[in-house]
């Protein structure tokens, strides 16, 4: 299937600079000189990988044995014989985890934890012995036993799932026919914290230490719990030396199992980011209530770097970050948040400071040693003869090799079919600007490109059925950061902007000054009902389902029987009535309970359809549950 029809989004001159407008308009004058270097100085871009089929993350094995890896300082583990119906292995480097394994006629024996006692994980089948798990799933944890890290992964006739513990938390699982699950999947495919399709798991999510489940094809969804520890969230693969083994990892070991939520410095501050600013933003993320509703990443964009030392190590700008990045990461982690950085696959970043080309391993090691949890990786100033897929893969592998789970955000300004197996999210178009509908950088253009297709919207880059098929736990289409609160649009338009990002299961990365938000901006960014749509563990990206392209109905399947999110979206310049029918959602129920997610009002049972007056450029957003 052809992934796009017609034009490719226009690159900057020479294929290099991503944001000449935003650099000139937003970067403080002190940074203009270095920013100018980014304009038109790329030596070329790769056009490989523009077409292809559906991507899978995690994969599945069929009727194969599952063999554990080793936890740091531990020994090789085995979990419980063969997997029935398929198994996947997932987890972060250095903390190998096994999920979706069924034990038959026996029990699985874990390894030993350094300084602790041997653990046993896995359940029993009929005739076997069941034991509760230790600190790791199929492995030990360096540093000894984890207090309170009990695994529940009960047994069932026909097989059981492997258990695993978490730091100061109890891991619980979802339930499938054929067995019970803790952080994995059972025969017939129910995943706890993951997406199961015939028994394979790609993972779930933990938001702020809480648990949300994953997406099960043909089964139910279970939850995976993970307690929050300084620096991140625990995973069932165990801990190393008492610190968390995760940055957005769940019990099944996947990164970014729901769309990442956080803040990025570029839209508001350009190259003017400093240590003081970042600490203030971290404080505000907690005090504003943003952390409580799921925001966790504090991401520093371009121009934090200054040079490389004699050994080739990347050096932060000492005037902006006088305490270094490790101290800053420690501060962010002390708030229960996570730190992200930015680099580029080229020799220089888009603003002209050192990129990572040829230094991927050194840079990844630096990031890990500082405690970085997220990397945005741009596409400017590429080296002559370089290959895009190779460059991004090199950094992805370098990050994995550090042993620290670091979310990898690919910023190649386009979707390629290798991206879902390389990063956790990828940009699907050009840089956003704080405008409604003026050009290809506006909110409307990015909605059309990320959520629609060329046969539906003029200017959309991808052919039918669009990119929604590639979204799911651990891999997300990214239409770019949010502009909510930056002043270029109305509050009604910002509400629509946020609602469409949520129904598209897009990353929610705020780009405003959250230290001084208006009440309206705060209410938009912290609407827990809307955020729950974005973070729904099924991980399905919503799509437009109406024939009309101006008075639209968008729909997204949510967890739960006959449960949907709906956006009634008015693109026109006057208020209008928009109707959604239950049949158009694919519901078999003729009556449904409706909740308005912006007024936070339960509207009660409604027969066959619902109609609402929607303001110009506005939305009405609903949760619909069939009765």
Give the residue numbers marked as catalytic. Answer: 378, 431
- The rounded distance, in Å, linking the Cα atoms of 471 and 479 is 12
Strand partners, 607: 591
Angstrom CA distances, 135 to 117, 342, 404, stand at 10, 33, 18
Task: Judge contact between 502 and 508, C-beta under 8 A.
Answer: yes
Q: Which residues touch 438 (CB under 8 Å, ≥6 apart)? A: none
- The rounded distance, in Å, linking the Cα atoms of 268 and 279 is 16
Residue 465, preceding peptide bond in cis (omega within 30° of 0): yes
Tokens for 604, please give them.
């009660």
Tokens for 314, please give them.
């990347």
Q: Which residues touch 525 (CB under 8 Å, ≥6 apart)? A: 290, 482, 484, 485, 498, 510, 514, 517
Q: Closest Cα to residue 137, out of 221, 201, 44?
A: 201
- The rounded distance, in Å, linking the Cα atoms of 382 and 15 is 8
Which H/E stretch holds residue 498? helix 491-503
Task: Judge contact between 53 and 121, C-beta under 8 A.
Answer: no
Secondary structure (DSSP) of 311-340: T--EEE-TTT-TTHHHHHHHHHHHTT-EEE
Task: Judge contact between 37 and 348, C-beta under 8 A.
Answer: yes
Determine the 3-state secondary structure of 468 from DSSP: helix
Tokens for 57, please give them.
């993350």
Q: Closest Cα to residue 183, out of 214, 159, 158?
A: 214
Which H/E stretch holds residue 393? helix 388-401
User: Beta strand pairing status for 609-614 and 543-544?
Assistant: unpaired
Task: Judge contact between 173 and 185, C-beta under 8 A.
Answer: no
- The rounded distance, in Å, linking the Cα atoms of 320 and 380 is 23
User: What's the DSSP call for residue 255?
Assistant: B
Determine the 3-state secondary structure of 237 from DSSP: coil
Sheet holding 425-427, edge to edge: 476-478, 425-427, 407-410, 374-378, 338-344, 297-299, 261-264, 508-510
């Amino acid at each position: 299937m052809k992934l796009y029809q017609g034009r490719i989004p226009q690159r900057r001159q020479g294929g290099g600079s991503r944001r000449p407008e935003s650099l000139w308009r937003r970067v403080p004058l002190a940074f203009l000189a270095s920013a100018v270097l980014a304009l038109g100085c790329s030596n070329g871009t790769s056009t490989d990988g523009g077409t292809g089929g559906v991507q899978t993350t995690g994969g599945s094995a069929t009727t194969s044995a599952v063999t554990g890896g080793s936890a740091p300082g531990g020994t090789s583990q085995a979990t419980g014989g063969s997997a029935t119906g398929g198994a996947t292995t997932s987890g972060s480097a250095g903390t190998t985890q096994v999920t979706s394994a069924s034990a038959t006629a026996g029990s699985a024996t874990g390894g030993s934890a350094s300084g602790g006692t041997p653990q046993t994980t896995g359940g029993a089948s009929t005739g076997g012995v069941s034991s509760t798990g230790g600190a790791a799933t199929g492995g030990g944890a360096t540093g000894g036993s984890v207090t309170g890290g009990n695994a529940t992964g009960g047994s069932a006739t026909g097989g059981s799932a492997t258990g695993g513990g978490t730091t100061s938390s109890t891991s619980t699982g979802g339930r499938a026919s054929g067995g019970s699950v803790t952080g994995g999947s059972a025969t017939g495919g129910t995943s706890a914290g993951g997406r199961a399709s015939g028994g394979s798991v790609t993972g779930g999510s933990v938001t702020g230490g809480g648990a949300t489940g994953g997406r099960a094809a043909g089964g139910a969804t279970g939850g995976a719990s993970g307690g929050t520890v300084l620096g991140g969230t625990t995973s069932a693969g165990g801990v190393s030396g008492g610190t968390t083994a995760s940055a957005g990892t769940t019990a099944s070991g996947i990164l970014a199992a729901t769309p990442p939520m956080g803040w990025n410095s570029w839209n508001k501050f350009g190259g003017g980011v400093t240590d003081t600013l970042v600490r203030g933003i971290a404080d505000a993320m907690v005090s504003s209530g943003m952390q409580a509703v799921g925001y966790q990443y504090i991401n520093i964009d371009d121009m934090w770097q200054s040079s490389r030392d004699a050994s080739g190590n990347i050096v932060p700008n000492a005037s902006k970050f006088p305490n270094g990045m490790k101290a800053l990461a420690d501060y962010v982690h002390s708030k229960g948040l996570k730190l992200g950085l930015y680099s580029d696959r080229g020799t220089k970043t888009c603003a002209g400071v050192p990129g990572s080309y040829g230094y991927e391993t050194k840079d990844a090691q630096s990031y890990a040693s500082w405690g970085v949890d997220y990397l945005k990786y741009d596409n400017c100033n590429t080296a002559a003869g370089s290959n895009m897929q190779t460059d991004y893969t090199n950094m992805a592998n370098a990050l994995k090799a550090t042993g620290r789970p670091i979310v990898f955000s690919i910023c190649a300004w386009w979707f390629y079919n290798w991206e879902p197996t390389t990063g956790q999210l990828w940009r699907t178009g050009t840089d956003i600007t704080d405008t409604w509908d003026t050009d290809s950088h506006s909110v409307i253009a990015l909605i059309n490109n990320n959520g629609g297709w060329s046969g539906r919207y003029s200017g959309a880059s991808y052919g039918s059925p669009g990119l929604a098929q590639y979204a799911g736990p651990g891999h997300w289409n990214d239409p770019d950061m949010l502009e909510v609160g930056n002043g270029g649009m109305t509050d009604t338009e910002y509400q629509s902007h946020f609602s469409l990002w949520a129904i598209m299961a897009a990353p929610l990365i705020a780009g405003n000054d959250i230290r001084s938000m208006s009440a309206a901006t705060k209410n938009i960014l912290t609407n827990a009902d809307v955020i729950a749509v974005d973070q729904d563990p099924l991980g399905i990206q919503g799509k437009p389902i109406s024939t009309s392209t101006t008075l639209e109905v968008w729909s997204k399947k949510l967890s739960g029987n006959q449960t949907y999110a709906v956006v009634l979206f008015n693109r026109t310049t006057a208020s209008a009535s928009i109707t959604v029918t239950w049949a158009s959602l694919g519901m078999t129920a003729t009556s449904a309970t409706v909740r308005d997610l912006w007024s936070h009002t339960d509207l009660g049972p409604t027969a066959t359809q619902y109609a609402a007056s929607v303001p110009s450029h506005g939305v009405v957003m609903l949760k619909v549950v069939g009765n």
